[in-house]
Structure 1
Amino acid sequence: MIYRKANIDDIEKLVELRKNQLVDEGIEPNIDIDTDLSVFFKNKLSDGTLIQWLVEDNEEIIACGAVIFYEFPPSYTNKTGKKAYFANMYTNKNYRGQGIATKLLTKLVDEVKNSGISKIWLGASKMGRPVYKKFGFIETDEFLELNFI
């Protein structure tokens, strides 16, 4: 398996992966979001506020995960206000249970640490929640968080 960062040439694949993830989470595909997703990925990949990792097996993308960087007003619990949000975590059902999501999480956490941000948050599906908790994320009122300072 090959782990690599996505680039602009991967946008069409990123759109399909995102839609697969949403359907997998039980969200009905009742509107066309292809253009909106394409614009989102183009803008965020171009300005560096999104880093998306892909996992390929025999030239097929079988998993992905992303970190999106946000700036919030500084607070007493986060002096810089900068946070990283994990999104687009998806593994093809034929590849689940092989540690791929955990390896992706490690790569994404390394991206965040290298950026100097110390607070990660995410919204987890029921299926993903155990993976994140095992990794060290803790539940808050609405999200799961990981702090490493």
Structure 2
Amino acid sequence: MKVRLAQETDIDQLIKMRWDFTLEDYPEMGERTEYSTFQKECGDFLKEAIVSGDWFIWIAENDGRILSHIYIELLKKVPRPGRITHPFAYMTNVYTVPEYRGQGVGSKLLSKVDEWAADMKYEFIIVWPSETSIEFYGRNGYTHCEEPMEKHF
């Protein structure tokens, strides 16, 4: 298994994985959306994300097949006097294909992301886990923090 950052050549697989990931929890979404429409929107997003460097999409692959992925967006903080200001990382879209779950693939990928974030001196990684993923993050050293506030529009 190889862990690396995604490239433009990975986009088709990443689109299909995002589709599958969504339909796994929300099957009705597939009934309301044409795959080709989603493919265009997601493809445009991924091309921009990879080229711009605004997102870091980490993948675990085996023989050219992506088995797992983690999306990281960096959020820059306003500088504060008296200390060096480092960005923090927002982690989302963490997914391992079903037949590779429970084999350590996701944990190996997450470990690489953690190592990378520490090397880059990011202040912290934040993730909003689903009910089913809380145990996964806990096994990998993540802890609950105070809930952020939000306002819906």
TM-score, structure 1 normalization: 0.80
Unmatched runs of 5 consecutive residues or more in structure 1 = 144-149
Inter-CA distance 72–37: structure 2 relative to 1 (3 Å threshold): farther
Q: Are 2:44 and 1:39 equivalent residues in the alignment?
A: yes
Q: What is the identity, as a one-letter code, of the residue corresponding to 1:11?
A: I
Deviation at 1:27?
Answer: 5.9
More helix by share: 2
CA distance in 2, matches of 1:17, 1:128: 17
Deviation at 1:117?
Answer: 0.9
State the match for 2:102 in structure 1.
97
CA distance in 2, matches of 1:122, 1:142: 11
Answer whether contact 1:52 1:67 (CA < 8 A) is retained: yes
- 1:1-149 matches, within 5 Å, as 1-26=1-26, 28-29=28-29, 30-31=32-33, 32-73=37-78, 80=85, 82-142=87-147
Unmatched runs of 5 consecutive residues or more in structure 2 = 149-153
State the match for 1:147 in structure 2.
none
Q: What is the identity, as a one-letter code, of the residue corresponding to 1:96?
A: R
Aligned length: 142
Q: Which runs of 4+ in 1 moved over 6 A?
A: none
CA distance in 2, matches of 1:74, 1:34: 38
TM-score, structure 2 normalization: 0.78
Answer whether contact 1:85 1:122 (CA < 8 A) is retained: yes
Identity of aligned residues (%): 25
CA distance in 2, matches of 1:106, 1:141: 23
Answer whether contact 2:86 2:121 (CA < 8 A) is retained: no
> Could you give the per-residue CA deviations for residues 62-115 of structure 1, whole angstroms, max 9, x where no partner exists?
21122211224457xx97362101122111111111111111111111221222
Aligned-residue CA RMSD in angstroms?
2.5
Inter-CA distance 58–8: structure 2 relative to 1 (3 Å threshold): closer
State the match for 1:146 in structure 2.
none
- Structure showing greater Rg: 2
Structure 1 stretch displaced more, 98-107 or 43-52: 43-52
> Could you give the per-residue CA deviations for residues 10-34 of structure 1, whole angstroms, max 9, x where no partner exists?
1121111112222223363233432
CA distance in 2, matches of 1:142, 1:13: 33
